[in-house]
Structure 1
């Protein structure tokens, strides 16, 4: 007999999100057409291969675990279980099992974040973004303030923290302990810097196209064109970390990926050479230099030469 794949998500028991007296839940079948997606969704990328596997599982065994929704207007809004919801929609299911809860916007978003954190295929970028948003919700601060305070906590000794920073430290440590994903110090040192990766590298990491170590290594290439070329090569050819580092060493000595020669690069190179040239000391060439400057100023819209 074919074994059913695990569709069941880990329960959200490690984080107290509800007051059972105020958030009574009901379970049953509702029309898929009555469920809408929320405006804020922590998950941005869905692996097409895994989505196909999930669809095949649901098609063969049915939806083994209900999704969580909340009443909104005349219908319902998805809270947790977006992959299952999308798969059911693609399979044109009419009704699906749901657990309905009365939730505020903040509660609903936090549940979605926590569920996202419990995924087995969660990548470092998604984990970092989810934890950061949970800190924003629970500390009642903006994302910028949360990041600033995390860095302050790391560089300020416990005895040197003021009353406010001490209170934030206690709450922050408690949140990280409840999430059981990563220590707060490691989060500051190793995870927050991921959000500053170049966009194309960050997006590839988010999609699972490259590993964390490869992404951070490729990001050390400052030239955008060379970095993009190396990123493409890594994804298409499955370069190892050792191969990537070797190519970066070659890039630094100008032997690897050749940067395309454009008018702009030719001009920049020529200007750099001109600055160091002894031509400035040769009075016979001053007229030629002046004509050149006038032409450049004219091209950029400056009609009169510099006196």
Structure 2
């Protein structure tokens, strides 16, 4: 069992699911574990999405593929739901519910469980984060919502979701970006690497103008960092021309993303070098432990 997964659960959820939430949820849904509930056939019309669902965008093509499978084979794995004031709310399995609606099914197999609002909120975020189903802004919004509703500090929040405090802090800072820039990220016009430097720019109009320039001219992340630095230092002028830099090899960007996900910090691959950012001795020790560099 990985250390990351152990950190990802709070006491309440750990008492229900054990150390590995995703495996436990799947065991419950497949009837391998008695969770105090039984599988029922529930009318789809009586079920509503989880009100704390952080994922806002569902892949329509993937949903239609799942709907085709459900038409032919049905739903093999029950969804998890809880009773609400009117009908039921989904705990886990919203994709199956949505696909069943597309497939024109009237009922869906479901296991009814007793969850508090706080548990609903946490499990929705943890399920999506562990499955990497959220885009960065959805993830950031989910963390902020969880922190505000449950009065978590960023340190406690990081422990609950199994991420480093630095990672949580940095991703939540993206919510400071103007909405037009956030939409460019959601629409995959700009990467997180491109917009991260723009967080430091206080003038929203200037930040939006730069983001549009980056998209139209295909500027590199390094070019954006240079522009943001000039703005913050007051060196940029209206007619300043920034030449597009050569875009980084997509394969290197892919490896950077993999390493950042594993180490939960910024990683840069450039000129046959790997640069890993750490913020303190404790953070360095955390990274070394993940890399297996600390002797027992």
Q: Give the TM-score taking structure 2 as reference length.
A: 0.56
**Is the 2:198–2:207 Cα contact (8 Å) retained in structure 1?**
yes
> Please, which runs of 5 or more residues in structure 1 have no aligned partner?
1-9, 151-168, 258-307
Aligned residues: 210
Give yes or no for the alignment of 1:216 onto 2:196.
yes
Q: Which residue is 2:279 aligned to?
A: none
TM superposition shift of 1:63:
3.8
What pairs up with 1:154-303 in 2 under 5 angstroms?
172=156, 176-177=158-159, 179-180=161-162, 182-188=163-169, 190-206=170-186, 208-220=188-200, 222-235=202-215, 239-245=219-225, 252-255=236-239
Separation (CA, whole Å) in 2 of partners of 1:106 and 1:29: 26
Separation (CA, whole Å) in 1 of partners of 2:205 and 2:134: 29
TM superposition shift of 1:206:
4.5
> Please, which runs of 5 or more residues in structure 2 have no aligned partner?
18-34, 242-296
Provide the alpha-carbon RMSD of the alignment. Answer: 3.7
SS at match of 2:91: strand
Q: Which residue is 2:40 aligned to?
A: 28
Correspondence for 1:60 among 51, 57, 69: 69
TM superposition shift of 1:214:
0.8
Q: Which residue is 1:96 aligned to?
A: 108
TM superposition shift of 1:35:
0.7
TM superposition shift of 1:102:
1.9
SS at match of 2:190: coil
Separation (CA, whole Å) in 2 of partners of 1:211 and 1:64: 37
**Is the 2:174–2:199 Cα contact (8 Å) retained in structure 1?**
no
TM superposition shift of 1:46:
0.8
Q: Give the TM-score taking structure 1 as reference length.
A: 0.54
Q: Deviations over 1:112-165 (max 9, x none)?
A: 22222223242333333333444456xx52xxxx45xx4xxxxxxxxxxxxxxx
TM superposition shift of 1:67:
2.2
Q: Which has the larger radius of gyration?
A: 1
Separation (CA, whole Å) in 1 of partners of 2:226 and 2:161: 38
Q: Which residue is 1:270 aligned to?
A: none
TM superposition shift of 1:105:
2.5
Q: Deviations over 1:205-242 (max 9, x none)?
A: 34544221111234455554443344345456654324
Correspondence for 1:78 among 82, 90, 95: 90
**Is the 1:31–1:94 Cα contact (8 Å) retained in structure 2?**
yes
Q: Deviations over 1:274-307 (max 9, x none)?
A: xxxxxxxxxxxxxxxxxxxxxxxxxxxxxxxxxx
